Every structure is written in C-alpha cells, then in structure tokens.
C-alpha cells in the first residue's frame, strides 16, 4: 500500500514536471565534461584560489570575508571587499561537506548551468506555458556565450549571473501578478544577482526597469491606483534586496578609491578594444579558446548564436501577421531589448560608451551578450503558442528544434584540454606563486605604489634596533607576535599592506602606524622589553553600517514568512 502511494507520487511528479525533467536530461551534455577527476585551464584561473581564501576566512570566523591573507604575494589584500562573493560561499558549502577545492569549483559551474535552466524554465512557463518554458530554457542553456563563460573564460561570477537573472525577472513578474511570497523571492534574487557579479548587476538595472514598467503598464492600464500599489511592492522588494546585499555593495562602492581600480579600466581592459562586428555577433561559428583582441581577430566565439536571434524575429513577424496584439507587444519588447544588447556590443554604440563614464567599468562590451541571449531565449519560447491547436506539428517542430540546437552548439561545451591536477598540486610550487600574483594590481591598496616583487616574509621585518621575535601566529585578518626588544626603541614592519581598518596594538594599547614606504606596509615603533604586538582589521564605519543593514534584511525573512499569509505579499 505504501509502495503504491510512493509510485503514484513519483508518477504524478514526472507527469506534472515532464518538461522540467526532460530539460535536465537534455542539458547534461553541457556539464558532463566536468564530472570527472582533474581540472581544466581557463582565462580566470583564480577560482580555486579565491575559494581557498574564502574557506580560510570562514574557518577563521571572518564573516563576511573581506581580507584574504595569501593574495598580493602573501601580503594580503581586500579582495572580497570588492569581488562579488556569493558563488564562493555556495562552493564553500560543498567544500565543507567534503569536496576538494577543484571539485567544488566544478560543482559551482555545474550548478550555475542547472540553476539557469530551472530559472529560465520558470520564467518562460509563466509567460508561454510549460512547453514554451522548455524551449526558452533549452535555448538559454545551449547559448554559445554561456559555453565561452564556463569553458573558455572560467567566469564564475558571470556564470552565476546567467543563473540568477531569470529568477530576478520571474519574481518581478510574479510580484506584479500578486503571487504570495513573491516579494521575498524578488528581494532574494535581486540580492543574489548583486552579490554574484557586480558588472552584470549594473547592466541589469535599466533592462529590469523597462521590464517592470512594461508589466506595471499592462497590469494597471485601467487603474492608476494599481500602478501605485504594485509599484510600491517593487520598491519594497528592491529596498529589501539592497539591504541583503549591503554588506558587499556599500563598501565596494564607497571604498573603491582605496584600491588601484585604474588597472581595471586601462590598457587591455579599455572597452574601446573589445567591440564586436555584426558578422561576428550574428553569423560567426568558429570556436576558439583564445582571447578578445582589437578588431575582428578574436580567438574566441563572441556570437549570440544564429538560432538565438532568428527565432525571435520569426516569432515577432508571425504574431504581428496574425494580429495577436497582446502577445506581439510583449515579444517585440523582449526582442528589442535583445537587439539593444547587441547594439551595445557593436562599435556603433561607442558614442554612448564615451558619454557615460560608468560604462567603462564593464570593460568588455561583449558582456551584453548575456542579456541578448537572455531576452532572445525568452522571446523564442512564444513560438509554441502557434502550435496550440496543431499538437502533431508542434511536437515535430519541438523535435527538430532540439536536434538543431544539439547539432549547432553541443560541441562548444567542452574544455580545451583536461589536466590531471589535484588540490595539492594547484596550491604548491610555481602554481602557488602564480596564484598569489595573478592580477595583483586589481585590489592592491592605493598606499602601495607598486606591487611586491618578492613573496612576503613569514615574520615581521626589523628596520631598526634590536628585536628578537619569540613566536607568533597569523589568521586571515589578524596577526600576533611576541617580541623581545633589546634596544631602547626599534622600528618594525609587518608583512601586511596597510588598508583602512588595520590597527596595531601593543599589550592592548593602540600604536600609531606609518605606511609611507614603496609597498605601503604597516610600520611602527616599539620600545624596550617583552611586548605582545597584535594587528587586526576592524570595520570602518561604512563596513559596520553595511553589515547591520544586511543583518536587518536577514532578520526580515522569518518575520515576512510568518506574516506573508496575512499580508498576501
């Protein structure tokens, strides 16, 4: 009897979620190459190192993690004060459950693929039904740019932006539709996007504003009161989402002048070097594992995908021809936003890049491919509405669609080579040194005039006087040293870059520090006798306020869940 009930439940699950299950099976080839021991080369070969640093923070109690101890050639720097941390916390959960660092990184990429498919399925289903959701999600999963992000660039943050973006737009849609708990889901997804990839979040804002205004106009065209009511819900969701992500957003913005951000904007990273021509965007199919270069000589695929932009055009044309005003208006809006994304990738958009300085932080105009892919995938799902009364023709079209996507894009989802590499090998020898120094200027405090040329010493340096270091220990954001000073006074330099928040105390009393040296290292004077020197990174006012705002946002979650039924939010 019990077995029969379980079988019935399983049967009903597969019946009710047929397309979702089918979707999962069909996207397995996009991540199957990652399900094996070893690792693969990528442009941003820092994923495991960042995870290692965050793991040290978590185990040391530095939450949220801001200062990483081994980067900057061992002098440490404030990486997670500026680098979106959420994907690394997700991977850390898997590492703490027993997976190695490299395996946890691969799981991070795999999860981003699966979550992005689920999110797009939910979004597409809410607009076009389950079959339409399947089409949108399948197209989104096999996007060429997604393959580039994972298997060429190794862009973990952007891969998770791919995953979270559908949930942001889906939850906004559900919030305006008045669904229960949608306010919380909108806030959570909005916050997750901002703490996954700064740049994608920045690009999302204008597109999200258009999406929300479009939905509000449709929902409240006959009632201005409805516009205000649902507009208020959106505002509350945005405010809550901002509160949840404040621990990262506020310091990243207000303390950006404390690190060498100029290296993120000049030279190779100047946007002017990375526009993409129309032929590349629409028709290029040549795959590569190289880099983005000036002109049409990129050695990686920067195309939105032939099928991805053709299907929305067909859909728009057919719905307008059939005079389906309601559907054609939505599909046209989605298609226009997709083409706007392509325009911002093309050299013709240089005028806007020149006039809006904030765009320079995007670095690569082709990052807009994520959004073109996103909107084209949503719009393409609408085609299934044309087959509602022609089920046999619809099934035939769906079968042809799946085969075509497999044929065109399946081979993109594979690494260039596979390396038999372990955690120990990754974090030792030359590989360890390379991990410590890659992109060393990106988050180097401004007090350092240049990056270090040698690894940091294990103990403090004695610049003047007689000092015997008896013992010491170091954590992620603190150091303690027992020193025996033989001279009347001495000058000591810690193997630490100065950064606002660092304080040095001797026997519990704060010491004045200097950092007027070429590397901006913490330097101080110490006096005769046995002294316990402690250096610790404290919160600045903006970090303290941001932590409190995030804590308040987290406290709201259980309160909201208890009240949501009564408030119907």
pTM: 0.94
Q: In this structure, what CATH number is given to the domain that contains residue 482?
A: 2.60.40
> For residue 146, is it within any domain?
yes
Q: Which domain holds residue 516?
A: 461-538
Where are the strands (E) in 98-211, listed by range? none
295: tokens are 């002109």
Mean of the per-residue pLDDT values for the chain? 92
* pLDDT confidence band for 14 (50 / 70 / 90): low
**347: helix, coil or strand?**
helix
- Say if residue 408 is in the same domain as residue 465: no
In the predicted model, is pLDDT for residue 1 greater than 60? no
> For residue 71, is it within any domain?
yes
If one compares 441 and 72, the residue with the highest pLDDT of the two is 72
Residue 488 · residue 466 · CB < 8 Å: no
pLDDT, tens digit, 9 for 90 and up, residues 357-385: 999 999 999 999 999 999 999 999 999 99
Please, what sign has the CA dihedral across residues 92, 97, 102, 107?
Answer: negative
Where are the strands (E) in 289-381, listed by range? none
| Burial 182-210, CB ≥16 within 10 A → b, else e | bbbbbbbbbbbbbbbbbbbbebbeebbee
> For residue 440, is it within any domain?
no
Neighbours of 78 (CB within 10 A): 27
Task: Compute the average pLDDT of residues 290-295.
Answer: 83
* pLDDT confidence band for 8 (50 / 70 / 90): low
CA angle 362, 155, 437 (to 5 degrees): 90
In the predicted model, is pLDDT for residue 533 greater than 90? yes
What CA–CA distance (Å, rounded) separates 201 from 165?
9
pLDDT, tens digit, 9 for 90 and up, residues 312-339: 999 999 998 887 888 889 999 999 999 9
pLDDT of residue 54: 98
> For residue 353, is it within any domain?
yes
> For residue 503, is it within any domain?
yes
How long is the chain?
A: 569
The Cβ-side half-sphere exposure at 512, using a 13 Å CA radius, reads 2
Cis status of the peptide bond prior to 413, with omega within 30 of 0: no
- Say if residue 516 is in the same domain as residue 394: no
- Say if residue 387 is in the same domain as residue 502: no
- Say if residue 524 is in the same domain as residue 394: no
DSSP 535: E
517: tokens are 């040296």
If one compares 464 and 10, the residue with the highest pLDDT of the two is 464
- Say if residue 392 is in the same domain as residue 473: no
* pLDDT confidence band for 388 (50 / 70 / 90): confident
Q: Which of 412, 447, 477 is the last residue of a domain?
A: 412
Number of domains in the chain: 2
Q: Which of 376, 395, 412 is the last residue of a domain?
A: 412
- Say if residue 207 is in the same domain as residue 133: yes
> For residue 547, is it within any domain?
no
In the predicted model, is pLDDT for residue 83 greater than 60? yes
> For residue 449, is it within any domain?
no
Look at residues 510, 464, 508 and name the one whose alpha carbon lies nearest to residue 487: 464
In the predicted model, is pLDDT for residue 9 greater than 70? no
- Say if residue 258 is in the same domain as residue 347: yes
What CA–CA distance (Å, rounded) separates 482 from 533?
6
pLDDT of residue 301: 93
- Say if residue 405 is in the same domain as residue 465: no
What CA–CA distance (Å, rounded) separates 491 from 473?
20
- Say if residue 173 is in the same domain as residue 311: yes
> For residue 236, is it within any domain?
yes
Measured between alpha carbons, how far is residue 360 from residues 201, 272, 276, 337, 391 in Å? 14, 9, 16, 21, 49
**496: helix, coil or strand?**
strand
Q: Residues near 10 by Cβ (< 8 Å), separated by ≥ 6?
A: none
- Say if residue 330 is in the same domain as residue 471: no
- Say if residue 369 is in the same domain as residue 515: no
What CA–CA distance (Å, rounded) separates 86 from 84?
6
- Say if residue 474 is in the same domain as residue 342: no
The Cβ-side half-sphere exposure at 330, using a 13 Å CA radius, reads 20
Residue 39 · residue 422 · CB < 8 Å: no
What CA–CA distance (Å, rounded) separates 256 from 199?
14
């Amino acid at each position: 009897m019990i077995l029969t009930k379980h079988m019935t439940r399983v049967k009903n699950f597969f019946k009710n979620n047929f397309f979702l299950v089918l979707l999962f099976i069909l996207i397995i080839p996009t991540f199957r190459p990652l399900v094996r021991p070893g690792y693969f080369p990528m442009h941003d070969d820092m994923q495991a190192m960042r995870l290692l640093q965050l793991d040290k923070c978590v185990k040391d109690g530095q939450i949220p993690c801001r200062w990483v101890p081994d980067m900057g050639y061992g002098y440490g720097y404030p990486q997670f004060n500026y680098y979106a941390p959420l994907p690394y916390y997700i991977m850390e959960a898997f590492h703490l459950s027993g997976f190695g660092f490299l395996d946890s990184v691969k799981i991070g990429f795999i999860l981003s693929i699966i979550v992005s498919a689920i999110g797009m399925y939910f979004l597409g289903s809410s607009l076009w039904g389950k079959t339409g959701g399947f089409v949108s999600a399948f197209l989104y999963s096999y996007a060429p740019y997604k393959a580039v992000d994972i298997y060429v660039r190794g862009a973990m943050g952007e891969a998770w932006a791919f995953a979270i973006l559908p949930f942001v737009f889906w939850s906004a849609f559900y919030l305006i539709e008045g669904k229960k708990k949608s306010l919380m889901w909108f806030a959570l997804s909005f916050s997750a996007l901002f703490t996954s990839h700064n740049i994608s979040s920045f690009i999302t804002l204008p597109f999200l504003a258009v999406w929300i205004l479009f939905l509000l106009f449709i929902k409240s065209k006959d009632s201005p009161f409805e516009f205000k009511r649902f507009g208020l819900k959106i505002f509350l969701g945005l405010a809550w989402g901002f509160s949840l992500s404040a621990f990262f957003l506020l310091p990243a913005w207000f303390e950006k002048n404390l690190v060498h951000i100029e290296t993120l904007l000049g030279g190779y990273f100047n946007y002017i070097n990375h526009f993409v021509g129309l032929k590349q965007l629409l028709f290029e199919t040549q795959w590569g594992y190289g880099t983005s270069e000036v002109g049409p000589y990129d050695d990686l695929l920067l195309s939105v995908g032939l099928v991805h932009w053709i299907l929305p055009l067909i859909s728009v044309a057919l719905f307008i021809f059939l005079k389906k005003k309601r559907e054609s208006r939505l599909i046209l809006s989605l298609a226009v936003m997709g083409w706007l994304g392509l325009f911002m990738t093309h050299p013709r958009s240089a005028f806007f890049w020149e006039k809006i300085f904030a765009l320079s932080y995007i670095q690569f105009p082709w990052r807009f491919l994520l959004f073109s892919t996103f909107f084209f995938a949503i719009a393409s799902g609408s085609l299934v509405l044309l087959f509602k009364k022609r089920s046999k023709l619809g099934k035939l079209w769906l079968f042809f669609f799946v085969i075509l996507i497999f044929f065109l894009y399946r081979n993109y989802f594979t690494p260039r080579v596979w390396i038999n590499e372990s955690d120990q090998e990754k974090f030792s020898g030359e590989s360890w040194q390379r991990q410590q120094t890659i992109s060393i200027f990106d988050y180097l405090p401004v007090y350092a005039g240049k990056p270090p040329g040698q690894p940091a010493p294990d103990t403090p340096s004695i610049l003047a006087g007689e000092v015997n270091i008896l013992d010491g220990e170091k954590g992620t954001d603190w150091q303690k040293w027992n020193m025996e000073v033989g001279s009347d006074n001495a000058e000591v330099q810690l193997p630490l870059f100065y950064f606002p928040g660092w304080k040095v105390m001797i026997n519990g009393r704060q010491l004045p520090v200097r950092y007027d040296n070429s590397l901006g290292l913490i330097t101080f004077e110490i006096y005769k006798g046995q002294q316990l020197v402690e250096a610790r990174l404290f919160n600045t006012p903006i970090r303290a306020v941001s932590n409190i705002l995030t804590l308040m946002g987290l406290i709201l979650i259980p309160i909201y869940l208890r009240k949501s039924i009564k408030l119907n939010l």
